[in-house]
Structure 1
Amino acid sequence: MPFKVKYAFVFLLLGTLNVAANAQTSADAEKQAYCQYVQDQADAERTLDTGVEGFGRLGQSDSNPSLKQVVVGVSKSLSRHLRGVSATRAAQLECELYSRTLNVDRFVKYGMPSIDRQVAIQQVADLKDVLDILNEEIMSADKRLQSGNGTLSDLLTLRQQRDRMAAQYVAAKTEVASQPIPEVPHIDLKQAIAQIDETTLDLQDELNHKQKLQAWDVSLVGGMQKPISGTPVNTSTGYQPFVSVTFTYNFNAASYGRKLDNATRSLMTMRHQLNDELAQKVDGLQRSMADRLAVQQENLPQLLGEQSQLSDEYERLRTLASPEALRMKSQIRVSLAMAAMKVHLARLQITLLSQNYAQDQ
C-alpha cells in the first residue's frame, strides 16, 4: 500500500473514531449535566428541610392573658427532615430515568445509520484493497506490453477499471467523513422500555411519599421564655427554659394518599401511551432490520457462488503463461477481489443486523 494513501486511510479512520468518541462524550456530558442539575436542586431542598428552625414570639401568655412575655427557641421537624431525604432519592431516580430514556432514543434514532456507517468504513478498506490489486495488475500489464506479450488495449482496460474504482473509493471516503454518527449503546429495547416504566413508577412513588409527609408532623421544640409585663402567678420573672414535643395530623391524609395513587396510575397510563409511540418506532426499526437481513442472507449464496467460480477459474489458469492466459488471469484476479469485497460486506451486514435485531426480540 503506497505510504500516502495508507496515511490518508489511517487518518480517516482516526477521524471517524474521534467523531464517535466526541459524540459519546457529548452524550455522557448531557447525562452528567442533567443529573448534576437535579442533584443540586435536591441538595438545596434537603439543606433547607433538614435544618433547625429558630422562632421568637412577643405577646400574651397562653395560660395567663394578663401576662406578656418574650419567647425564643428552636424546633426540629421530623416530617420536613424526611422530605429532604426523599428529595435526594427522587433526584437519583430522575437522573436514572433521564439516562435510560436518552439511551433508548439514541438507539432508535441512530441504530440503522450506525450499521450503515460501519459497513461504509469497511467498504473503504475493501475498495483500497481492490485498488492495490488493480495497480499491481496495471504494472504487470505494462511490463507485458514492453516485452511484447501484452496489448495496449489490456492496459487501457485495466486503467479504466482503476479510474472507476478510484472514483468509488473517493466517494465512499467522502460519505464516511460527511456523516458522523454518535456511538449507539447496546441495549435490549424492550427491556429498556420496561425499565423506563419501572423507574417512572419508582420516581412517582417517591414523590408521592414526599407529598404524603406533609399530612403529619412531629416536632421537637425548645427555648427560653421570660415575662416582661403583667403579674406572674407563682412564676419566676427570669428566663425559664422549656422543651416540648408537638405533633400535627391532617384527617384528610388517607384520602390525600389515595388521590396521589390515582394520579400515579394516570401518569403510568400516559407513560404507556408515550412508550406505545416509542414502541412503534422500535417495531419499525426491527422490521427494517429484518427485511435487510433477509435480503443479505438471500443474496449471500449467489455471491459465494460467483466468488467460488472465479476462484476455480483463476486456479485453472494459474500455471499457464500464454499472453491470453496472463490477460485472463489479470481480469479474473480483479474480478475475484471485487467478489470477495461483496461477500465480505454482505457477511458484515448479516452479522451487524443479526446482533442488533436479535437483541430487540
Structure 2
Amino acid sequence: MHLQIHRVFVCTLLVTLSTAAIAQASADAEKQAYCQYVQDQADAERTLDTGVEGFGRLGQSDSNPSLKQVVVGLSKSLSKHLQGMSATRAAQLECELFGRTLSVDRAVKYGMPAIDKQLAVAQAADLKDVVDILNEEIESADKRLRSGNGVLSDVLMLRQQRDQVLTQYTAAKTEVVSQQIPDVPQIDLKQALAAIDETTLDLQDELNHKQKLQAWDVSLVGGMQKPISGVPVNTSTGYQPFVSVTFTYNFNAVSYGRKLENATRSLMTMRRQLNDELAQKVDGMQRSMADRLSVQKESLPSLLDEQSRLAGEYERLRKLDSPEALRMKSQIRVSLAMAAMKVHLARLQITLLTQNYAQDQ
C-alpha cells in the first residue's frame, strides 16, 4: 500500500506539472500570436509607405499649354516613409502593452488558485505521512492483538481513521489534479499597473504622431518627359530628365491636430477605464489575500498550542508500555501528526500569502 500511494502521488504531480506547462505554453502562444499579428500588419504598412512610387502623365504641359507631353517618373515621400517607421514603433508598443496586460491579468486570475495548488500539494504529502503512521500503528496494534495484549476495537478504530485520512488524501490529490494552474511569475502588480498606464500613453502618442504626419509632405520627384504634339519652344523633342522637390501642407493641419488630440484623449479615457477595471481586480485580490492572511495568523497560535499539548502528552507516555498506555500513545501519535500537518499548512499559507501580498504593496 505504501508503494501504491507513492506511485499515485508521483503520477498526480506529473499530471499537474504537465497541465501547468501546457497552460503556460498556451499563454505564451497567445502573446506571440498577437504580437506577430500586429507586427505583420506594421511590416506590411511600412513596406508600402517606405517604397518608391512610380507615376505617369499624358497631357498638356504646365508651362506651355499648347504642348502635349508624356511624363514618367518616380517619387519618394518623406511623410509616408516616417508614417511607415511610426507604424513599426506603434506595433512594438502595442505588443508590449498586450504582454504587460496579459501578465497582470494572469497574476490576478491565477494568484490565489496558485497558492491553493501549492497548499493542496503540501497537504497531500502531509496526509501521506499520516497514512504511513496509521499503517505503522495498525501493524503494532495487530501484533498486540495476536499476543493477547491488545483488543480488536483498537485495530478497528485505527483502520477507520486510516480510511478517513485516505479519503482526505484522495480529495487533496483530486484538488491538485483539478487545478490546472500554470506557473505565474511573481510581479510587482502596483508597478505593473503603472507600466501599463505609461505604455498606453506612449502608444497613443505614437498613433497620434503617425496621423499628424498625413498633414504635410516633402517628396523627391524625378523622371523623364517628352513632347508628343505641339510646338516646343527652345526645347528638345527627345526625352528630357527632370528632378524636383515637392512640398505639400494642409492648412487645416493645426485644427486637425487639435481634433486629433481630442480624439486621443477620448481614446485614452476608454483605455484608462479598461486599466481601472484591471486595477480593481488587483485590489480585490489583494484584499482577499489580506483577509485570508489575517485569519491564518489568528489561528496559528491555537494550532501551535494544540501541537505542543499533544507533544507533551506523547512524551509523558513514551516510556510506558502498559496496554492502555500503548493504546493512548498510538492515538496521540496520530493526532500529533494531524496537528503538525495543520501547523505546517498554516505556516506555509502565511508564507505564500505574505510573499504575494507584500510584494504588491
Please state if 1:206 is matched with 2:200.
Answer: no
Instruction: Please name the residue that 2:226 is paired with.
Output: 226
Instruction: Please name the residue that 2:133 is paired with.
Output: 133
Instruction: Please name the residue that 2:330 is paired with.
Output: 330
Task: Give yes or no for contact 2:122–2:345 (8 Å, CA) kept in 1.
Answer: yes
Please state if 1:259 is matched with 2:223.
Answer: no
5 Å matches for 1:236-255?
236-255=236-255
How far apart in 2 are the matches of 1:229 and 1:102? 66
In structure 1, give the amino acid aligned to 2:310. Answer: L
1:22-58 Cα offsets, whole Å, 9 max, x none, are: 1010000000000000000000000000000001111
Instruction: Please name the residue that 1:87 is paired with.
Output: 87
Please state if 1:342 is matched with 2:342.
Answer: yes
Instruction: Please name the residue that 1:18 is paired with.
Output: 18
Task: Give yes or no for contact 2:124–2:173 (8 Å, CA) kept in 1.
Answer: yes
How far apart in 2 are the matches of 1:319 and 1:226? 118
How far apart in 2 are the matches of 1:267 and 1:230? 57
How far apart in 2 are the matches of 1:184 and 1:213? 41
How far apart in 1 are the matches of 2:270 and 2:79? 31
Deviation at 1:283, TM superposition (A): 2.0
Aligned to 1:243, what secondary structure does the other structure show? strand
How far apart in 2 are the matches of 1:230 and 1:279? 74
How far apart in 1 are the matches of 2:248 and 2:170? 77
How far apart in 1 are the matches of 2:134 and 2:289? 34
How far apart in 2 are the matches of 1:63 and 1:214? 29
5 Å matches for 1:87-106?
87-106=87-106
5 Å matches for 1:143-158?
143-158=143-158
Task: Give yes or no for contact 2:204–2:268 (8 Å, CA) kept in 1.
Answer: no
Deviation at 1:179, TM superposition (A): 2.6
How far apart in 2 are the matches of 1:263 and 1:200? 15
How far apart in 2 are the matches of 1:279 and 1:93? 20
How far apart in 1 are the matches of 2:235 and 2:287? 86
Deviation at 1:116, TM superposition (A): 1.4
Aligned to 2:220, what secondary structure does the other structure show? strand
Instruction: Please name the residue that 1:3 is paired with.
Output: 3
Per mean C-alpha deviation after superposition, the further-off stretch among 189-198 and 203-212 is 189-198
How far apart in 2 are the matches of 1:126 and 1:5? 12
Aligned to 1:27, what secondary structure does the other structure show? helix
Task: Give yes or no for contact 1:201–1:264 (8 Å, CA) kept in 2.
Answer: no
How far apart in 1 are the matches of 2:128 and 2:216? 74
How far apart in 2 are the matches of 1:242 and 1:108? 63
Instruction: Please name the residue that 1:171 is paired with.
Output: 171
How far apart in 2 are the matches of 1:56 and 1:265? 42
Aligned to 2:228, what secondary structure does the other structure show? strand
Please state if 1:268 is matched with 2:291.
Answer: no
Deviation at 1:352, TM superposition (A): 1.1
Please state if 1:284 is matched with 2:284.
Answer: yes
Q: CA RMSD in A?
A: 1.3
How far apart in 2 are the matches of 1:295 and 1:235? 96
How far apart in 2 are the matches of 1:65 and 1:279? 68
Deviation at 1:264, TM superposition (A): 2.4
Aligned length: 361
User: What percentage of aligned pairs have identical amino acids?
Assistant: 83
Per mean C-alpha deviation after superposition, the further-off stretch among 235-244 and 188-197 is 188-197
Deviation at 1:153, TM superposition (A): 1.1
Instruction: Using structure 2 for the length normalisation, give the TM-score.
Output: 0.97
Per mean C-alpha deviation after superposition, the further-off stretch among 342-351 and 188-197 is 188-197
Aligned to 2:64, what secondary structure does the other structure show? coil
How far apart in 1 are the matches of 2:164 and 2:10? 22
Deviation at 1:277, TM superposition (A): 2.6
How far apart in 1 are the matches of 2:271 and 2:53? 40
Task: Give yes or no for contact 2:113–2:179 (8 Å, CA) kept in 1.
Answer: no
In structure 1, give the amino acid aligned to 2:101. Answer: T
Deviation at 1:185, TM superposition (A): 3.5
Instruction: Please name the residue that 1:142 is paired with.
Output: 142
How far apart in 2 are the matches of 1:194 and 1:305? 44
Aligned to 2:74, what secondary structure does the other structure show? strand
Task: Give yes or no for contact 1:89–1:206 (8 Å, CA) kept in 2.
Answer: yes
Deviation at 1:282, TM superposition (A): 2.1
Task: Give yes or no for contact 1:39–1:91 (8 Å, CA) kept in 2.
Answer: yes
How far apart in 2 are the matches of 1:118 and 1:230? 90
Per mean C-alpha deviation after superposition, the further-off stretch among 107-116 and 340-349 is 107-116
Unaligned runs of 5+ in 1: none
Aligned to 1:321, what secondary structure does the other structure show? coil
Please state if 1:56 is matched with 2:35.
Answer: no
How far apart in 2 are the matches of 1:261 and 1:195? 22
How far apart in 2 are the matches of 1:17 and 1:24? 10
1:295-344 Cα offsets, whole Å, 9 max, x none, are: 10000011011111111111122222221111111111101100010001
Per mean C-alpha deviation after superposition, the further-off stretch among 283-292 and 296-305 is 283-292
Aligned to 2:231, what secondary structure does the other structure show? coil
Deviation at 1:118, TM superposition (A): 1.4
Task: Give yes or no for contact 1:197–1:268 (8 Å, CA) kept in 2.
Answer: no
Deviation at 1:94, TM superposition (A): 0.4
Aligned to 1:51, what secondary structure does the other structure show? coil
